[in-house]
Amino acid sequence: MSQFNIAWLPGDGVGVEVMEAAKICLDALKFDAKYTHGDIGWEFWCQEGESFPQRTIDLLKNSHAAMFGAITSKPVKDAEAELVPELKGKGLIYRSPIVRMRQMFDLYTCLRPCKAYAGNPLNYKEAIDMVVFRENTEDLYAGVEFSPVPDELKETLKKLSKPFGHFADIPGDEFAITCKVNTQKGCDRIIRAAFEYAKKFGYPKVTVIHKANVVRATEGMFLETGKRIAKEYPGIEMDDANVDAITMWMLKNPKNYGVMVATNLFGDIISDLAAQMVGGLGFGCSGNIGEKLAVFEPSHGSAPKYAGQYKVNPIATILAAKMMLDWLGETEKGARLEKAVAAVIAEGQVRTYDMGGSASTLDMGEAIARKL
């Protein structure tokens, strides 16, 4: 009997292909796991009106961890247009399955390490080592949205919010509202996770990223929480920066930053910037981590224009597999996998198109596997 039950969720587009490359590496490591395929993604939305079927939810409930490839997401009207005829007009609304998964299983930490491996021709600068902690279940991704805006909501906001008066006379079908929802619990646990990580791995500083000077209620709470929790970690410096300013400072002085923590949307943006600085989304791995389950994925999307070509770089997914191994306590295997990735990058003999080479997705996976 296998030691670990792993939910295997390729999704669609290039997700299927990069997951194949990751599996080659996991098999080469002789990782003792049972992999069970889970249905998720655009195909199931179009055919069933559900991109995250209950059968896949049940699979995750009985898994130690999951590997996730990528999925296609489209705006509401475009999504409805692609439903099979018998499902159209039934009020079905597409919601991102990965966002739903994060909320359903309380995967509150999105952990995104961004490391510049020696020899990568795409590195912005050498020796960059950033780790972004992104709150994963709240904020503007909470799904509390209104379009059109109901009259009763307009009336309530008119009574409670003076600034809303500017919008009060606009017809409800001519504007939309998305609510930014942040909780004290959500702020506490993501910031504490960042400080604990810095303490465990020897980072001297945690940078709290926010926009408290304008978004005073939610971002102000996030910043004040950071200041309070920092007092519990006297050996670790805390600094903070507005999200717009940090994009400049990261580019100017990337080695000044190690562990960074932000609310959901800002963390999403900052982590993509950090990934680009170490080679792009082909190198950006990600972990969605809760107390009982974690789901690991590349931070890139499904890239439909490349689907079926086995062209894209699978290193992000392979590094996500490394994160999964670490989370499961298989740290020796995780270290071997990262060392193999670093060796292939340093040698420069096998490079995918983004790195200036012609190797396929599976060529890269096999080259890394040969180092294991």
Among 12, 139, 268, 272, the active-site one is 268
- Write down the catalytic residue from 117, 141, 197, 310: 141
The confidence score (pLDDT) of residue 41 equals 93
Active-site position among 211, 311, 322, 333: 211
Continuous segment of H or E residues that includes residue 262:
strand 259-262
∠ CA 294-181-210, rounded to 5°: 85
Say if strands 4-11 and 145-146 run parallel, antiparallel, or are unpaired. unpaired
Strands (DSSP E) contained in 163-204 are 177-178
Known catalytic residue: 211?
yes
The reported pTM is 0.91
Stretches where the chain sits below pLDDT 50 are none
Q: Is 239 a known active-site residue? A: no
pLDDT at 75: 85
Q: For this structure, is 141 an active site residue?
A: yes
Q: Which domains does the chain have, with CATH numbers?
A: 1-108+293-372 (3.40.718.10), 124-139+182-277 (3.40.50.2300), 145-178 (no CATH)
Cα diameter, the chain? 66
Burial of 329: CB neighbours in 10 Å, binned 0-12, 13-18, 19+: exposed
Q: So what's the pLDDT on residue 197?
A: 95
pLDDT for the residue 214 = 97
Q: Report the DSSP pairing between strands 177-178 and 145-146.
A: antiparallel
Tens of pLDDT, residues 170-205: 999 999 999 999 999 999 999 999 999 999 999 999
